[in-house]
Amino acid sequence: MSTYNKMLVAIDLTEEAPQVLNKAKAICDAYGAELFLVHVVEPVGYAYGGDIPMDLTELQDQLDKAAREQLAKYGDQYGVPKSHQIVTVGRPESEIHRLVKDQGVDLVIVGSHGRKGFQLLLGSTANGVLHGTQCDVLAIRIH
């Protein structure tokens, strides 16, 4: 039976993140695997169709900085080495797919809200990750 050597846990930096991190850490320790901790900062312009006649660089830099600080706190708390604490900018699903390839990850761990009906149609990050990656995906149900 093959096992897992490199795991990637993606967190959204909300108060729900520890629910995902606690399980990811336990699973990673049980397998003796390497753990990558990732947060993807979405470009500020995205929410408005990327069409705002304003320079958003400073705001984006502030968001990146805040995300790095928060991710580092979690990383240090959960014993993830600095080299494995990753903050990138883009669409969460696409960035996670890219990192899976680049780092040779064999298990991705994400949170899932278990959406139903219309919300499900709108899609979720867990769905997006599952449908574009070659490796296994573990969805941790968020309560």
Binding site for ligand AMP (CB under 6 A): 10-12, 16, 20, 38-40, 92, 110-111, 113, 124-126
Minimum gap (Å) between residue 73 Cβ and ligand AMP: 15
Say if strands 34-41 and 6-10 run parallel, antiparallel, or are unpaired. parallel
Closest CB to ligand AMP belongs to which residue? Answer: 111
Minimum gap (Å) between residue 131 Cβ and ligand AMP: 13
- Which residue lies nearer to ligand AMP by CB, 53 or 102? 102
Minimum gap (Å) between residue 2 Cβ and ligand AMP: 24
Minimum gap (Å) between residue 45 Cβ and ligand AMP: 15
- Which residue lies nearer to ligand AMP by CB, 10 or 106? 10
Written as six digits, the tokens of 1 are 């039976």
- Which residue lies nearer to ligand AMP by CB, 2 or 24? 24
Minimum gap (Å) between residue 1 Cβ and ligand AMP: 26
Q: What is d(CA 57, CA 89) in angstroms, rounded to the nearest whole number?
A: 13
- Which residue lies nearer to ligand AMP by CB, 40 or 105? 40
- DSSP lists the bridge partners of residue 69 as none
- Which residue lies nearer to ligand AMP by CB, 85 or 124? 124
